Structure 1
């Protein structure tokens, strides 16, 4: 399993990480995320676009609003790739490539 560098890059931003934390509990619209984070609406929208493009969030239209939901399967894949990397390192004892 290889690292999902796109997902990890997106997860590395503190505001995007906070958005994901909020979406883990419930589906929220942009106005909720603005209230919860204090960030500007355009900033939240840009971060949501990046999260959608990385496949971590899905949009759900509801009348005039769009609700965003965390995709647990995508987050799990990113977590699994990191866990696999840690497992490889755990089993690497004294392996060393000669110079």
Structure 2
């Protein structure tokens, strides 16, 4: 074989190695991309779930605040009733502790 033929074979071999390396890198990049796409889908689903949970908690918070206002109003009415009873019966032990 001639020197030129050996050089050509060597060049072809090197080019094939480089091609194979690029192909492996390309395949790896595609797998990483697919994994990232899957991750995005999971993150979007988690985000929707968290937004739904947050909305429900806001609704629950609003309901609790309304309930709290009702009970505060009842407590004030009860306090006024106790004060009224104490004014009418100042020596009564029944109302002294309230």
- The TM-score with structure 2 as length reference comes to 0.30
Identify the structure with bigger relative contact order (alpha carbons < 8 Å, sequence gap 6+).
Answer: 1
